[in-house]
Every structure is written in structure tokens, then in C-alpha cells.
Amino acid sequence: MTPTKPSDLIASDKNQNKQAVIAVVGNPNTGKSTLFNLLTGMRQKVANYPGVTVEKRIGELTIGERRFQLIDLPGTYSLAAHSPDERAAIDVLLGRIGDMPAPDAVLVVVDATNIKRNLFVATEVLELGIPVVIALNMVDIAESQHISIDVAALATRLNTVVIPTIAAATRHENLEPLKAALATAVDKTSPKPWALLEDVKQAAAALATELATECAAQTPPSPQQPAAYEVQRALIDKGGEAEKRLVDIFGSNLSRRLQLLRDKLTSGQTLAERDANERYAYIAKILDGIVQVPAGNQQRSLTERIDQIVSHPIIGSLLFVLVMATVFQAVFSWATPLMDLIDGTAGWVTDQVYATLPEGAIASLLADGVVAGVGSVVIFLPQILILFAFIIVLEDSGYMARAAFLMDRSMRWCGLSGHSFVPMLSSFACAVPAIMGTRVIPDTRDRIATIMAAPFMTCSARLPVYALLIAAFIPRQHYFYGLVNLQGLVLLGLYLLGIVGGVLTAFLLKRTILRGSAPTFLMELPPYRTPNIKSVLVRLIERAKAFLVRAGTVIFFVSVVVWSLAYFPRSEILAAEFERQKLAVEASVQIEAAREQAILVLENELAAAQMEQSLLGRMGKTIAPVFKPLGWDWKLSAAVIASFPAREVVIAVLGTTYAVGSDVDEEDEGLRERVRNAAWPDGKKVFTPGIALGLMVFYALCLQCAATVVIIYRETNSWRWPAFAWVYMTGLGYLGALACAQLG
Amino acid sequence: MSSQQQEWIALAAVILIAGISIFRWWQRRKRGDSGCSHCEKSCSSPETTSRKLD
């Protein structure tokens, strides 16, 4: 497949000084964003469209001396807007977003392996009368599937430029011809708008003129004059975003006027059906004789064969549970050697600090603050990487799309659809992007229900907390010839608890304050592919870097601050009393080993006493009565309170508080041992199995993430929902922990 | 170095670290970031967002 010469098709006649705007449009799964990234490099900025929480990505494309502004629009199958994302896409194309000008050209990204469906939106864009360049993407995959496309003939029939491209993370081709085509397209005189449904276009234009006259007659004249295309979309897409907006402006009477017009323009089928039928007939005519698709595609049939098992309601669901169980088993079984290595290194660094520096505040800051705090979080890096390696491989192979398909049935039970599964899945990494990802959900009530359910999913910040508590309190028991271990099962149970919590929340909301009909869900199942090792590694390194940067910044900051709160103020009276008792021991105990042991006990008592009267100790004791019914001591209460802005902080706080007030001997086995041995003043263990389980349940259900609270506010434009989420989840966590403590 | 001198140095280090951290966080908030590096990395990470589908 060779590119057509853009210069042959497009004449240059506009001035070349202004920064031209190019919108990038395409179906989901076409490699649109990858192509956008390749064209703009790192010269991008992300913001929201004014007034709506739809992400706007703008990048800069430089060709020779000229600079172009590229706008990456949300992926859409057609210009029929049924969600805020799709409405933003049309608004950009019509130049109806704030002070953003209408685009000078549109780059439509078309998947060469699925050209018929992709041309649906492409032909809609062509109707608008904006110069269009089509990037026929994934031609390498099309070739491997023996799909042949006559690109030159396609360009001639569509009367536009078509450039075959390959835009993948690991390989890209024909970007230069594409850039040249775009540079030429923006200078082209706009072609005349046309319409497949000419009668609908004319009726829409007449209604738009009537509405414009009504706007002008208002006192003062309304500035919100509708575009003819917007009215056309309102006519075709009954109940869609275009109709909703026009009704908002012109009142409910407009719905009746639109319906009268629809009745005139159709007979026996809706306008949307007529549009789809005529458009697919038009596309079939364009593709006739220029696209050859082999009858029995080998890869597709292999995919179909696998799908017969993987997407089967019963076998597929069992397989899904088995896959997830394997992942959680691996998280514990495979990570242990690496975790021991990190733990050993942290212990060695602590020893070196105490051996090198004189005893005092500086050594304590470095060893008990920095090393104990940051080290206690970094130790979970291997587990996080193993979990994400599995998730990335499952996604890249195409399995996760099947999981979404399977989950659609479960989602339907709680009043949601598979639409909500992708954000829910994302929230296993972090709830913030997941909540932002709910923008693809068309119905506002479903969107809010998903936003409320997403924070329940076990994010990567919960994993270290679970890992610490499971390693400390759940025995390493193996079953079924060592294939299944208890720790992995408990972790799986906690993940399931999060899922159940989220699903039940959505269920309750959808049957009470967010009552509404179950939405329809349409999703494309990509063919199974072998994951690219390089791509998996690159993303794993990204994840490791993100985790380590977090440990090096936020956790480091928290560790140091918590250390200072746990260390200061120092009591001179306690220190003097310790010195007096130490001298007495030295004078009275003759045997060296016994003397050293007695002094060590005194040192531990001093450390504990100093910490109790420290700022953290006082704060912890003040808040402790609230958590007393849960069986928590003041150290744990303080750690939990400190972790409300970010839940994984609890590890660093526990690491620091238990290090500052703990035994300073070389046989210490790290935080797990310290937590396991934590005791009340009467010697009773703080963490009974019930209390440890209660703490895990608390972390599974509680909303301890300031970023999530803020993003819920941003996405719902109200403090009502984040306040509800925080109170509801914290209350649920407290009650869960209370139940465990009382029953355990 | 006396224990009191050590305490003053440690306290100064804590204040310096806290000050730098808060200043950097505030600067990023001013630039329009969420102020949470963890979340931003997750957002840009392809496996975690629905944008990967585009």
C-alpha cells in the first residue's frame, strides 16, 4: 500500500502565518491517541473543556517552520452524541467551544482491519465541509490478516487524502507523508458541506433559521443561536445530547417540533435507523471492489475458538476466578525473596547509620525516620510489580476485554453495565484515573453510581497495607500440595471484599437516590494478541518509577515529619531519671551480660516513655478513645489518622513509630515483627487475629485518599458526593473493624 | 556534638525537608496538577485509564 500524493489532491491557497488547528477524530481502539502522541511528542497539555469535565488534550505539531495545534478528541463511533465526551467532540468540530476556533482540518484515524465500521464516523466528518485527511492505521495488522485495500482508489472515491500508517509504541511508518498531508489540508479551501440525508439537512436548516429568528427576537437577543448541523443531529439522534441542549435553550416545546419533523421525514423506521442504513449502503458502495477481506480469517477464527471458552457464562466466569486467584498466589509466593533482600538491605543501612553516627537525634532521624519509614514502603515494590505485570499481560493479550464482557452480567444485576467495568478495573491501580474514566458513561446516574463504587476497589496503595498485615498475622500455611497458600487466599478475599462493597453500593444507590433503567453496553472485543515483552517492561518500569518517586517524595516527607512528631519534645526529666537508673544498674549488677540486658530494658522503657509524651503520643492518646472499641492502641490510632490523606502512609507511620519506641537490637526482623510483637502496657498483644482482620477490613472499606475526594468533587461539580462518599465509606470501615474486633 | 545540638540540627533538617516538600507541592498545584504524583503517574500509565481504548 503506497500513500497518495497529498499535493496532487489538495491545493494550497490560505495564508500560512496563523497557527492552524487540526482535530483528531476516530473510533476507540484505532491507535488514535498513539498517533497523536507520535505526531506531537511531549508537546502536549491536558485540560478540561470549559464547563464540562471532559478531558481536552492539545498538542503541538511542527512541520518545517510551521506549527499546528492538534486536538485529540475522545474516541467515538459516530457524531451521534450520547455522552459528554461525544458532545465535546462535536462541539470542537463545529467551533462551539468557548474561544476555540473551528478546526482548519480534521485527521480521521481509521482502523484498516475494520474499515467499514470506521468509515461511519469518517463519512459524517466529511459531510461537515472541513478539509479531511484520513490516516488508514494498522495497515500492518490488516496485511497480516490478508486484508487488501486500494488506498488510491479509496482516496478518489472519498474525495480526500488517505495515508496508510502504522502507529504503535514499537513501530511507526508513514508519519512524514501524513504530516505533509495535514500541512497541505489546513491551507485548502473548505469543501462544500453535503449530507447523505439531504431532506433532513434542509429541514434542520429551516428549523435552525426559525430558532435563530426567535433568538434575535428575544430581549435582549439570545447569543445561543443553534448551528444547522446541531439541529440535524437533534433530529436524527432522538433523546441525544444535541436535543437535550436545544431543549435546555428553547424549552420543551422544541421536542414536539422536532418530533413533528421526524414524523414527516420518516416512515416505518426512525431517522437514526434510516441514517445508519443509508450510510452503510453508501460505505459499501465506496468499498466495492477496493477492499478484499479473506472469507475465513485465521486469527479471527482462533480468537472465536478461544472466546467460546473464555466468554462462556460458566466456564469463562470460573476461568476468571482461577486467573485472579493465580495472580494473588503469585503476588505472595514470588515476591518473598526480593522482599527479604530489600528488608535485609534496609536493616544493613540502619546498622551502618547507628555504627557510624553518635547516638542521638541525627542517627534516629536517619535510621528510625528515613530508613524505617521509606524502607517499610519500598519493600512492597516486588509485590506491586508482580501484580501489575499480570494485569498488563492480561490487558495486552485481550483477556481483560473479555473480563469486562463477563462482568457486564454482574454489573447489570446492580443496575450498571459493562461501561462501568473499565473504570472499576482502572481503580485497582488508582481510583483517581478510574473516576476520570467514568466520563465515557453516558447516563449521569450510572456515572455517579460508578464513581461511588470505584474507590472500594483495591488500589495499589492498599496493597502494601494488606501485605504487611497478612505477612504479620496470617500463617504461611499451604494446601493442595503447596499450590494454594493461605496468605494469597486472604489477599484474594480482601480484593473480593472491595468488589462486593463497590457492587453493593452501586446496587443500593441505583435502587434509591439514583434509580433509573439499566443502560445498554456495546463493546468491541479485540483479537487475542501475544503481549509485546518490551511494551510490558516499559510500562512496568513506569509503574516502578511512579512508586519509587512516591516513596522518595510524599512518603519521605511524611516519614520525616512523623519522626519529628514522635521524637519531640524530649523530656529532660525522663533522660535524667534514665541516667540515674543506669548508674544504679552499673553499680549493682556485676555480671556483664546481665548488666547489658538490664540497660537495654531501661533504654527501651526510656524510648517508650519519651514517645508517649511526644507530640504524636499526645495526639494519638487524644484520638485513641474513638478507636478504642476497635481494640486499637494509640500508636495505631495515630497511624490511621495520619493515613487519611493517603492510606499507604500508615506503613511509614507504623514503621517510624514502632521503630522509635521499639527495641534497638540487631535481631530485629523489621516492621512485620514489630507490629506482631506490639503490646499494651500490661503486656497483652495489641494485634489479636480479630483486630488485625478488623484493620484490614477498615482499610478495604474506608476512603483514605485526599486525591480521590478532590477528584470526586471535580467530576461531580459538588461537595455533596465527596462528603457522602467519605462519611459512608469511613462509617462502613469503622463498623466492619468493630464487628471483626468484637467477633474475633 | 552534644545531644541538644543534634536535636537542633535534626529539627532544622525536618523543617527544611517539610518546607521544600510543601513548596514543591504548592508550585505543582499552581501549574494545575492534582498535586498527587502517584495519581498523575497512574493517569499517564496506559493500563489504568479508559483513554487507552482511544
| A542 → closest Cβ in B37, B38, B45 | B45
Distance CA A78, CA A57 (A): 20
- The pLDDT value recorded for residue A669 is 54
Amino acid found at A475: P
- The pLDDT value recorded for residue B40 is 46
Is residue A553 a part of any domain in this protein?
A: yes
Pairing label, strands A291-292, A166-167: unpaired
> A426 vs B48: CB contact, 8 Å cut-off?
yes
Contact criterion met (CB below 8 Å) for A543 and B45: yes
Contact criterion met (CB below 8 Å) for A701 and A504: no
Distance CA B43, CA A193 (A): 38
Of A229, A225, A223, which is closest to residue A203 (Cα–Cα)?
A229
Residue of B nearest to A25 (CA): B54
Q: How many CA atoms lie within 13 A of A17 on its CB side?
A: 1
* Residues A122 and A77 grouped into a single domain: yes
Q: How many CA atoms lie within 13 A of A56 on its CB side?
A: 21
* Residues A210 and A311 grouped into a single domain: no
- The pLDDT value recorded for residue A268 is 79
The angle subtended at Cα A161 by Cα A159 and Cα A163, nearest 5°, is 140
> B11 vs A564: CB contact, 8 Å cut-off?
yes
Is residue A393 a part of any domain in this protein?
A: yes
- The pLDDT value recorded for residue A700 is 94
Q: Give the residue carrying C-alpha cell 437577543.
A: A221
> Chain A interface, mutation test: which of B3, B42, B44, B52, most A Cβ atoms within 10 Å?
B42
> A553 vs B46: CB contact, 8 Å cut-off?
no
Domain borders along chain B are 3-53
The domain that holds A149 is classified in CATH as 3.40.50.300
Is residue A348 a part of any domain in this protein?
A: yes
* Residues A474 and A494 grouped into a single domain: yes
* Residues A247 and A368 grouped into a single domain: no
Domains in chain A, number: 3
Task: Tell me the three cell numbers of residue A489.
Answer: 487466599
The mean pLDDT values, 10 residues at a time, for chain A of 744 residues are: 39 54 88 83 56 66 87 85 78 80 92 91 92 93 88 94 84 88 87 84 91 76 73 88 84 88 85 90 93 68 82 87 80 80 88 90 88 79 82 82 78 76 75 75 84 90 86 83 83 91 91 74 72 79 79 81 87 90 89 86 80 87 91 87 78 72 47 79 83 92 85 84 95 95 84
Q: For the residues of A723-741, what is the DSSP string, one character each?
A: HHHHHHHHHHHHHHHHHHH
Is residue A286 a part of any domain in this protein?
A: yes
* Residues A64 and A160 grouped into a single domain: yes
> Chain B interface, mutation test: which of A441, A450, A542, most B Cβ atoms within 10 Å?
A542
Domain end position, chosen among A185, A210, A241? A185
3-state secondary structure of A135: strand
* Residues A240 and A369 grouped into a single domain: no
Is residue A449 a part of any domain in this protein?
A: yes
Distance CA A476, CA A328 (A): 14
* Residues A284 and A376 grouped into a single domain: no
Q: Give the residue carrying C-alpha cell 467519605.
A: A726
Task: Tell me the three cell numbers of residue B44.
Answer: 499517564
Residue of B nearest to A111 (CA): B54
Residues in chain B whose Cβ is within 8 Å of chain A: 1, 3, 6-7, 9-11, 13-14, 17-18, 21, 24, 32, 34-39, 41-54
Is residue A158 a part of any domain in this protein?
A: yes
- Asked if pLDDT for residue B43 goes beyond 70, the answer is no
> What are the two backbone dihedrals, phi and then psi, of residue A571, each rounded to the nearest 5 degrees?
-90, 120
Is residue A471 a part of any domain in this protein?
A: yes
Tell me how far apart the terminal alpha carbons of chain A are, to the nearest angstrom: 69
- The pLDDT value recorded for residue A739 is 95
Is residue A192 a part of any domain in this protein?
A: no
Task: Tell me the three cell numbers of residue A597.
Answer: 540486658
Domain span at A13: 6-185
Distance CA A574, CA A576 (A): 5
Distance CA A643, CA A649 (A): 5
- The pLDDT value recorded for residue A164 is 95
Residue of B nearest to A24 (CA): B54
* Residues A134 and A269 grouped into a single domain: no
Distance CA A505, CA A456 (A): 9
User: Would you tell me which residues 690-709 of chain A have a C-beta closer than 8 angstroms to some C-beta of chain B?
Assistant: 706-707
* Residues A302 and A286 grouped into a single domain: no
- The pLDDT value recorded for residue A285 is 94
> B48 vs A423: CB contact, 8 Å cut-off?
no
User: Would you tell me which residues 640-679 of chain A have a C-beta closer than 8 angstroms to some C-beta of chain B?
Assistant: 646
Q: How far is CA A130 from the centre of its chain?
A: 34
Distance CA A143, CA A151 (A): 13
Distance CA A711, CA A434 (A): 10
Tell me how far apart the terminal alpha carbons of chain B are, to the nearest angstrom: 61
Q: How far is the alpha carbon of B49 from chain A, nearest alpha carbon, in Å?
A: 6
Residue of A nearest to B54 (CA): A28
> A549 vs B11: CB contact, 8 Å cut-off?
no
> B51 vs A567: CB contact, 8 Å cut-off?
no
Contact criterion met (CB below 8 Å) for A615 and A568: yes
* Residues A285 and A393 grouped into a single domain: no
User: Would you tell me which residues 28-87 of chain A have a C-beta closer than 8 angstroms to some C-beta of chain B?
Assistant: 28-30, 32-33, 47, 55, 72, 74-75
* Residues A288 and A301 grouped into a single domain: no
Q: How far is CA A283 from the centre of its chain?
A: 36
Distance CA A243, CA A476 (A): 61
> What are the two backbone dihedrals, phi and then psi, of residue A208, each rounded to the nearest 5 degrees?
-60, -40
Of A520, A498, A497, which is closest to residue A446 (Cα–Cα)?
A520
Residue of A nearest to B8 (CA): A361
* Residues A480 and A559 grouped into a single domain: yes
User: Would you tell me which residues 536-595 of chain A have a C-beta closer than 8 angstroms to some C-beta of chain B?
Assistant: 539, 542-543, 545-546, 549-550, 553-554, 556-557, 560-561, 563-564, 567-568, 570
Residue of B nearest to A109 (CA): B54
Identify the H or E element spanning A467.
helix A462-473
Q: How far is the alpha carbon of A24 from chain B, nearest alpha carbon, in Å?
A: 11
